[in-house]
Structure formats: C-alpha cells, structure tokens
Amino acid sequence: MTFTIAIDGPAAAGKGTISKAVAAHFGVAHLDTGLLYRAVGAKTLRGEGAISAAQTLCAQDLEADTLRTPDVAKAASKVAVIAEVRAALVDFQRAFARRQGGAVLDGRDIGTVICPDAEAKLFITASAEVRAERRYLELIGKGTQITRDQVLADVKERDARDMDRAEAPLKPAQDAVIVDTSTLEIDAAIAQAIAAINAQRS
C-alpha cells in the first residue's frame, strides 16, 4: 500500500519538525526534499556547476554536517530556481513518494508539482516575523553571529525568491489544508496536522 503525505511551506514555519512527527505517527518514511537542494547548493559552493551537481547527487551528499548553514540555505534557494536542477531531482522525489508503506515528503512544491495526486496535503506557514525569530534563536544557539534584522531580511528575501520563481513557485495546493503555526506550540501544531491528515484519509 502506498500513501503519500505532501507537506509544503516556507522556511522556519515548523514544516520539518511536523513532517518528522507525522511520519513517526503514521509509521512511514520521511524525505526532507529541501536537503536535496541544500546538497546541490553545497556542491556549487565548492565550485561545481548547479546542473551537474543535481544530476550526480547521491545519498552520501545528503549526510554532510554543513547542510544547515545560512550560506548553504542561500545557495539552495538560488539553485532551486533553475529548471534543469528541479527536473534532475523530480524522479528521485516521486519514486520515494510512492514507496511501499507510504511516505511523507516536505518541501515547497510537493503538493503542487512533485505529488499533485498525494492522498493528503498540508501547507505549514507562519508570519515572516515569527519565522525569523525562530531562525534567529536557532542560529544564535549554534554560535552564529547575526542580528534579528539580518535574519528577517534573509527570510523575506528567500520568501520572495521561492514565491516569485517561474519554475514551481511556493504556494499552497488548491486542496491543501493550511496550518498556521504563528501562535501554536509545536505539540499543538503536530496534533492539528495529524487531525487534518486523518480527515483527508477518511
């Protein structure tokens, strides 16, 4: 049996945390598709061309400790607008989505482009200010020297790049359930997501 759960949303909305919890709850595999783009971005920072980096991506590339840095995040957002990069990664994502037993995929175009026929779709969001504060606290906790204003500017810049790109822009699928985490504790957000998925399954 296959059952695909597509979870989209902007950076720092809680999408990754919710996706992992949802996958654990339903006992299915989880793929953070953003890691694919981060891995490609990381390879470009080492001098490789974006399209070549995407076409030669392997599982080992997804395990690098450096994939969560701000520089890699910015590089990922830049390579994600390249149609050839997205095309190179589509088959990998679709094959993962239809694996036996079910799967959760989280990203920015899962419900709209990668898995438009997913059995359940969520769009996790929050205000730019709330997301920037979350990201700021995360970065400060890792010892990164950065200001709140810089993080907010980065979040808004990335939103604009993701939402305005010609290829697979970030937007909710028409049949996605919106979960706004701006004022939700993470446990409440996870519970709301699970309830929405159960409602779509029934």
Neighbours of 49 (CB within 10 A): 12
Identify the helix (H) or strand (E) that includes residue 154: helix 148-164
Confirm whether residue 101 is marked as ligand binding: no
Neighbours of 144 (CB within 10 A): 13
Confirm whether residue 143 is marked as ligand binding: no
Q: Read off the pLDDT of residues 133-176 as tens digits, 9 standing for 90 and up.
A: 999 999 999 898 999 999 999 999 999 988 998 888 999 999 99
Confirm whether residue 42 is marked as ligand binding: no
Q: What are the extents of the domains in the chain?
A: 4-193
Confirm whether residue 44 is marked as ligand binding: no
Confirm whether residue 17 is marked as ligand binding: yes
Distance CA 107, CA 170 (A): 9
Joined together, the tokens standing for residue 17 give 């945390």
Confirm whether residue 191 is marked as ligand binding: no
The phi and psi torsions of 182 (rounded to 5 degrees) equal: -55, -40
Confirm whether residue 15 is marked as ligand binding: yes
Average pLDDT, the chain: 93
The phi and psi torsions of 8 (rounded to 5 degrees) equal: -115, 170
pLDDT in the model for residue 1: 66
Q: Read off the pLDDT of residues 14-45 as tens digits, 9 standing for 90 and up.
A: 999 999 999 999 999 999 998 999 999 999 99
Distance CA 121, CA 18 (A): 13
Helix (H, G, I), strand (E, B) or coil at 102: coil
Confirm whether residue 14 is marked as ligand binding: yes
Q: Which CATH number fits domain 4-193: 2.120.10.80, 3.40.50.300, 3.50.50.60, 3.40.1170.10?
A: 3.40.50.300
Confirm whether residue 29 is marked as ligand binding: no
pTM of the entire predicted model:
0.87
